[in-house]
A and B are shown apart, each in its own frame.
Chain A
Amino acid sequence: MENFFFWTFVLTMIGSGIGVIANKNPVASAMNLVLMIISIAGLFVLLGAYFLAAVQVLVYAGAVMVLFLFIIMLLDLKAEQQANFRMLGIIGGLLTVLLLGIGFFLAGKNITSLVGKMGIVIQNNSIKALGELLFGNYALAFEAVGVLLLISMIGVIILSKKDLD
């Protein structure tokens, strides 16, 4: 059963990821991105990270994608008229992806020997433990992220003012 869900989520994720970059219409790309984010949330559930799955759906599929769609509607973007993929870009992109794939493959072979205990899972993925870690060891980083959010909010307000110059 876990295998079925894993392959379903992974295939949905990769298919909609390709859909994001293959669609000419920005709205269709955004919808594919929502599908990709939700299938990643499903993978998080399979990995036992229930809190992160909820955060993924709330923050990404909720807040971030609404922002994307809002901007697409606001700027009234039309679908790209013609396929202006340049030949050099396609060759360079495919070459980069190929080299990156080889690199990941070589790195992955070392990683499997490094981790060792594959498939052995200790159930400590409770939300309580995560919260204790977040507000204990990482309390300073948590505060810093709060300040970062405040700064970005102020920055967005300043950037959105009419007289930018």
Chain B
Amino acid sequence: MQIGLTHYLTASGILFAIGLAGIILRRDMIIIYMCLEIMLNAANLALVAFSRYNSNLSGQVLVFFVITVAAAEVAVGLALIVALFRVKHSTKAEDITLLKF
């Protein structure tokens, strides 16, 4: 069986769904961040597959930028988690209720 674009897109969709399910199910903010990474990687996989089967390199450039922005986002997000841990002594999402009315 020839591996085509549909196979890669299906794999990417399944991976995205796993990441989304993790964000909904898990309570730990660090795990939620990991699930965000899973979803970004799923999008990257779809972009590279489209880039290959349309033979258009711009998709790969976009993936390069997505990886860069994701790295910056992880650095800022983890600094925020550490700052919150200093105040609340917890990384559970339900413990962070500073803005709750």
Q: Chain A interface (Cβ within 8 Å of chain B)?
A: 2-3, 6, 10, 13-14, 17-18, 20-21, 26, 29-30, 33, 36-37, 40, 43-44, 46-49, 51-52, 55-56, 59-60, 63-64, 67-68, 71-72, 74-75, 77, 80, 84-85, 89-90, 92-94, 96-97, 100-101, 104-105, 108, 111-112, 115, 117-122, 124-125, 129-130, 133-134, 137-138, 141, 145, 148-149, 152-153, 155-156, 159-160, 164
Q: Which of B37, B64, B69 contacts A33 (CB 8 A)?
A: B37
Within the complex, what minimum Cβ distance (angstroms) separates B88 from chain A? 11
With A21-B26, A29-B31, A47-B8 in contact, do A96 and B20 touch (Cβ < 8 Å)? yes
Q: Which of A93, A130, A145 contacts B60 (CB 8 A)?
A: A130
A155 to B76, CA, bound (A): 7
With A80-B28, A118-B53, A155-B79 in contact, do A20 and B35 touch (Cβ < 8 Å)? yes
A–B complex contacts, Cβ < 8 Å, 19 sampled: A21-B35, A26-B31, A36-B38, A36-B41, A40-B41, A44-B45, A48-B52, A49-B60, A55-B67, A64-B71, A71-B82, A92-B24, A97-B20, A121-B55, A124-B57, A129-B57, A138-B61, A149-B71, A160-B82
Nearest-CB residue, chain A, relative to B25: A93
Q: Are A13 and B15 in contact (CB under 8 A)?
A: yes
> Which residues of chain A have C-beta atoms less than 8 A from B15's C-beta?
13-14, 17, 36
Q: Are A14 and B14 in contact (CB under 8 A)?
A: yes
Q: Are B74 and A149 in contact (CB under 8 A)?
A: no
> Which residues of chain B have C-beta atoms less than 8 A from A141's C-beta?
65
With A125-B57, A134-B61 in contact, do A20 and B31 touch (Cβ < 8 Å)? yes
Q: Which of B1, B5, B72 contacts A148 (CB 8 A)?
A: B72
Within the complex, what minimum Cβ distance (angstroms) separates B90 from chain A? 9
Within the complex, what minimum Cβ distance (angstroms) separates B76 from chain A? 5
Q: Are A52 and B74 in contact (CB under 8 A)?
A: no
Q: Contact flags (1/0) for B70-101 with A, using CB distance below 8 Å?
A: 11111110111111011000010000000000
Q: Are B82 and A100 in contact (CB under 8 A)?
A: no
> Which residues of chain B have C-beta atoms less than 8 A from A130's C-beta?
57, 60-61
Q: Are B52 and A47 in contact (CB under 8 A)?
A: yes
With A104-B13, A141-B65 in contact, do A63 and B71 touch (Cβ < 8 Å)? yes
With A49-B60, A92-B24, A97-B21 in contact, do A115 and B53 touch (Cβ < 8 Å)? yes
A154 to B91, CA, bound (A): 23
- A-B pairs, top 9 by smallest CB distance, nearest first, are A21-B22, A104-B13, A152-B72, A122-B55, A93-B24, A159-B79, A156-B79, A17-B18, A97-B17
